[in-house]
Amino acid sequence: MYRNKNKHKHRFSKLKKQYKDAIKRQLTRDFILLSKNDINHDCLFAHPLSETDKLFEERDGIEQLSSHINDDEIYMQNGYASAATALLNLIKISNDRFVRESYINPVMFCFRQYLELSMKDSILRLRLMRKKANKDESKIQGHDLLNLWEGLVKYLTKDKTVISVGNLIKELNDVDKSGTLFRYNEFLTKSIGDEERKMPLIDVDNLYTRVLQMYRFFESVNELARNGQDEMAANHCEYE
């Protein structure tokens, strides 16, 4: 009986592994297909533009994307983070230099945008829970990540994780303080900012790990801020 139980358990583990492997192979095939059919390929099959064509239009019987107002904040932040990891996965499995070199800028832009949105959202929600405003509160306008981090860290307990995240934010902000490094090419950087475009060396596997670690951290902070705001609103309703 004990032997049969172990045999069944071993068979289940084997089937589970086979299922995971099959899913992984399918995802890899999907990613490879995506990387093969880039915009240069796909645009050849698009019909010519006409004067009546629109970017946004409603059509009956067709599922259309329109974030509900209550979910917009979540979709917005997570969309940028998910786009960054999806593109990183494409880079990781591709041997095409065009894919690797051209997709890394959208990766960095999307993840930087996620960090900015997440910190701004958390700061504003945490500020709503304080009794009164602090004189030295950081302004959240602009794209300076370090400034946002300094505004957020005031609400956090400074442990090893917080210090480590702060180091990564400073590192990213040092190379892209204006928020244009991964948005402007060299010509635009020189023409608009009158400066050299200095790209850091990027190890894709290392970057992927850091993106996941930072996402996990900032999502936990944002969830804490959201839960606190919800609890405060619930307590307010009880006293009305």
CA dihedral 209, 213, 214, 218 (to 10 degrees): 150
- For residues 82-109, one letter each, b for 16 or more C-beta atoms within 10 angstroms of the residue's C-beta and e for the rest, the string is ebbbebbbbbeebebeebbeebbbebbb
pLDDT digits (tens, 9 = 90+) for 150-200: 999 999 999 999 999 999 999 999 999 888 899 988 898 888 877 788 889
Query: Which range is least confidently modeled, 48-57, 104-113, 226-235?
Result: 226-235
Look over the chain and give the mean of its residue pLDDT values, rounded to a whole number: 80
**137 has pLDDT over 80:** no
Q: How far is 179 from 35, CA to CA, in rounded Å?
A: 27
Altogether, the residues listed in the chain come to a count of: 240
Contact 194, 95 (CB under 8 A): no
DSSP code of 49?
Answer: P
Contact 153, 218 (CB under 8 A): no
Please, where are the H alpha helices in the chain?
2-36, 39-42, 72-93, 97-129, 145-152, 160-175, 186-193, 204-239
pTM for the model stands at 0.77
**108 has pLDDT over 70:** yes
The whole-number pLDDT of residue 66 equals 61
pLDDT digits (tens, 9 = 90+) for 186-221: 898 888 877 788 889 999 999 999 999 999 999 999
Cα→Cα distances 78→53, 72, 113, 118, Å: 30, 10, 10, 9
| pLDDT, greater one: 199 or 68 | 199
Give the list of residues 6+ apart from residue 83 with CB closer than 8 angstroms, or none: 106, 110
Tokens of 195: 């400066």
DSSP code of 143?
Answer: S
